[in-house]
Amino acid sequence: MGGYWPNANAIGLTMGGQTPAATATIDKVNISSAGNATVFGDLSEKAQATTSCGSFIRGFRGGGYNGSSRVNIIDYVTFATEGNAADFGNLNQSAQSMAAASNSIRGIFGGGDNPSASNIMDYITMDSTGNATDFGDLTVARFALSGASSPTRALFAGGGTPSKQNVIDFVEISTTGNATDFGDLTSGRSGPSGGSSSTRACFSGGANGGTQSLIEFVTIASQGNATDFGDMTVIRNSQAALTNSVRLLNAGGQPATNVIDFIQIPTGGNAVDFGDLTAQNLDMEGCSNSHGGLNDGYQGTRPLPFNEAGGDRGLFMAGESPTLRSLINKITISTDGNAADFGDLAIARYGASGGGSKTRGVIIGGIAPAAPSVINSIEYVTFSTEGNAADFGDDVESKQIAAACNNNTRMLNAGGRKSSNYDTNVISYITMSTLGNATDFGDLNVQRQNLKGCASNTRGLWGGGYKSPGAGANDIDYVTIATLGNAADFGDLNNAVYVPASLSSTTRGIFAGGTTTTTVLNVIEYVTIATTGNATDFGDLTTATAALDGVSNTIRGVTGGGETPSKTNTMNKITIASTGNATDYGDLIFSVGKPSGASNGHGGLVGG
Q: How confident is the model at residue 469 (pLDDT cuts 50, 70, 90)?
A: confident
- Asked if pLDDT for residue 420 goes beyond 80, the answer is no
Task: Please tell me the predicted confidence (pLDDT) of residue 268.
Answer: 84
Task: Please tell me the predicted confidence (pLDDT) of residue 6.
Answer: 45
Q: What is the DSSP letter of 313?
A: E
- Range list of β-strands (E), 420-522: 426-431, 439-443, 452-455, 459-463, 466-467, 471-472, 475-480, 488-492, 501-504, 508-512
Task: Name the pairing type of β-strands 556-560 and 570-575.
Answer: antiparallel
Among residues 128, 115, 227, the alpha carbon closest in space to that of 168 is found at 227
Residues 588/368, Cβ–Cβ less than 8 Å: no
Task: Please tell me the predicted confidence (pLDDT) of residue 607.
Answer: 64
Instruction: State the Cα–Cα distance between residues 436 and 439, nearest whole angstrom.
Output: 9
- Read off the pLDDT of each residue in 458-467 and give the average, rounded to a whole number: 96
Q: How confident is the model at residue 563 (pLDDT cuts 50, 70, 90)?
A: very high
Task: Please tell me the predicted confidence (pLDDT) of residue 530.
Answer: 92
Task: Please tell me the predicted confidence (pLDDT) of residue 298.
Answer: 38
Task: Please tell me the predicted confidence (pLDDT) of residue 7.
Answer: 47
Share of the chain above pLDDT 70, in %: 95
Phi, psi of 106 (to 5 degrees): -115, 145
Q: What is the pLDDT of residues 188-212, one digit of tens each?
A: 999 999 999 989 999 999 999 889 9
**Please, what are the domains in the chain?**
11-288 (2.120.10.80), 313-599 (2.120.10.80)
Least confident of 253-267, 348-362, 367-381, 445-459: 367-381
Phi-psi category of residue 222: left, alpha or beta, with phi > 0 → left and psi -120 to 50 → alpha:
beta
DSSP-assigned letters across all residues of 282-304: BS-EEEESSSTTTSTT--SSS--
Instruction: State the Cα–Cα distance between residues 185 and 181, nearest whole angstrom.
Output: 12
CA atoms within 13 A on the CB side of 484: 9
Among residues 529, 404, 412, the alpha carbon closest in space to that of 459 is found at 529
- Asked if pLDDT for residue 337 goes beyond 60, the answer is yes
Q: How confident is the model at residue 287 (pLDDT cuts 50, 70, 90)?
A: very high
Q: Which amino acid is present at 518?
A: T
Q: What is the pLDDT of residues 71-83, one digit of tens each?
A: 999 999 999 888 9
Q: How confident is the model at residue 608 (pLDDT cuts 50, 70, 90)?
A: low
Task: Please tell me the predicted confidence (pLDDT) of residue 301.
Answer: 29
Q: How far is CA 96 from CA 25, 49, 478, in A?
A: 17, 5, 53
Instruction: State the Cα–Cα distance between residues 595 and 569, nearest whole angstrom.
Output: 10
Length reported for the chain:
608
Residues 285/52, Cβ–Cβ less than 8 Å: yes
Task: Please tell me the predicted confidence (pLDDT) of residue 535.
Answer: 97
For all residues of the chain together, what is the average pLDDT?
92
Q: How far is CA 61 from CA 259, 269, 287, in A?
A: 22, 30, 9
Q: What is the pLDDT of residues 486-534, one digit of tens each?
A: 999 999 999 999 999 999 998 999 999 999 999 999 999 999 999 999 9
Q: What is the pLDDT of residues 102-132, one digit of tens each?
A: 998 999 999 999 999 999 999 999 988 999 9
- Read off the pLDDT of each residue in 291-305 and give the average, rounded to a whole number: 52
Q: How confident is the model at residue 1 (pLDDT cuts 50, 70, 90)?
A: very low
